[in-house]
């Protein structure tokens, strides 16, 4: 593990994610359209490069998420319930798949935390699209307990991951997301998280020797291990469930009708 390399990556991801999150939607949207094309072109030209199909699949899913979260016209054209449901399925699918992997590797508390985090999202009404094109487009009112719980859950799932030893990178990228969310509002966290993860996974395809070497953290362990982190994540997920769970029966009102939503900033809900 190279601490300097990890910190450098954190600074680079912080700056790039901030630029993408603050840029007008057309620029961010264009970036996530062009980044996959450029990456695939580089991989084709580098015939000697080898990559994991699972890693490629995860990266492609983040490219798609990047396109989706920055395509303002798409979400504004969709009815709010449909757009919010797509966002919910995107998050739930990502959490669920990783939780099953962790369970198969012997950690059961992350599976419980994952289930509570999914239910604690509160359904489709949590998401909406901001009006100001200069601000992050996709917003979700999840609350800090949910965000922190997810951070602990990510650490629990990746703690014993033998592939690429990603724990250190996950901690840093999640720290980037939380830092920018603390500055701009927790409702903007999702878009920031997609940008930061998309950048990191794209980098892992382009520079595998860097991620296998200086950015790998095979010797990094956290107190309590995967099970202990899962217990803490479960506790925070319960707090989030208490905050957001009622939305399953009583959907959150259109944020544009209540001053732009819990995170501030005027803007219509998905589909207006």
Structural domain spans, the chain: 3-258
Q: Would you give the end-to-end CA distance of the chain in angstroms?
A: 48
The C-alpha R_g of the chain, in whole angstroms, comes to 18
C-alpha 259/C-alpha 37 separation (Å) is 39
Q: What is the pLDDT of residue 103?
A: 74
Tell me which residues of the chain have a pLDDT lower than 50. 136, 260, 263-272
Q: What is the pLDDT of residue 51?
A: 67
C-alpha 255/C-alpha 260 separation (Å) is 5
Q: What is the pLDDT of residue 262?
A: 52
pTM listed for this prediction: 0.87
Q: What is the pLDDT of residue 134?
A: 55
Q: Which two tokens stand for residue 62?
A: 């983040």
Q: What is the pLDDT of residue 177?
A: 94
Q: In sequence order, what are the beta bridge partners of 127?
A: 140
Number of C-alpha atoms within 13 angstroms, CB side, residue 228?
A: 6
Are the beta carbons of 128 and 263 closer than 8 angstroms? no
DSSP the chain: --HHHHHHHHHHHHHHHHHHHHS-HHHHHHHHHHHHHHHHHHHHH-TT----HHHHHHHHHHHHHHHHHH-HHHHHHS-HHHHHHHHHHHHHHHHHHHHHHHHHTT--HHHHHHHHHHHTT-SGGGEEE-S-TTS-SEEE---HHHHHHHHHHHHHHHTT--SS--HHHHHHHHHHHHHHHHHH-GGGHHHHHHHHHHHHHHHHHH-HHHHHTTT--TT---TTHHHHHHHHHHHHHHHHHHHHGGGGTSPPPPGGGGTS-TT----PPTT-
């Amino acid at each position: 593990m190279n601490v300097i390399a990890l910190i450098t990556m954190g600074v680079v991801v912080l700056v790039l994610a901030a630029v993408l999150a603050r840029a007008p939607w057309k620029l961010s949207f264009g970036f996530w359209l062009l980044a996959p094309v450029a990456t695939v072109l580089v991989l084709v030209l580098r015939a000697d490069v080898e990559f994991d199909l699972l890693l490629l699949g995860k990266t492609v899913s983040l490219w798609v998420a990047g396109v989706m979260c920055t395509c303002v016209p798409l979400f504004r054209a969709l009815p709010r319930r449909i757009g919010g449901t797509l966002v919910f399925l995107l998050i739930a699918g990502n959490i669920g798949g990783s939780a099953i992997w962790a369970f198969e590797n012997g950690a059961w508390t992350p599976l419980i935390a994952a289930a509570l985090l999914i239910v604690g999202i509160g359904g489709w009404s949590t998401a909406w699209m901001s009006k100001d094109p200069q601000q992050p487009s996709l917003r979700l009112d999840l609350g800090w307990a949910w965000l922190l719980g997810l951070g602990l859950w990510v650490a629990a799932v990746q703690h014993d991951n033998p592939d690429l030893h990603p724990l250190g990178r996950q901690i840093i990228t999640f720290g980037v997301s939380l830092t920018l969310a603390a500055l701009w509002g927790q409702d903007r966290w999702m878009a920031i998280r997609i940008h930061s993860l998309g950048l990191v996974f794209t980098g892992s395809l382009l520079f595998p020797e860097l991620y296998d070497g200086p950015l790998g953290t095979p010797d990094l362990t956290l107190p309590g291990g995967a099970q202990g982190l899962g217990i803490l994540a479960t506790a925070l997920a319960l707090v989030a469930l208490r905050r957001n769970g009622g939305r399953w029966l009583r959907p959150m009102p259109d944020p544009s009708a209540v001053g732009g939503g819990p995170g501030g900033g005027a803007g219509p809900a998905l589909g207006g």
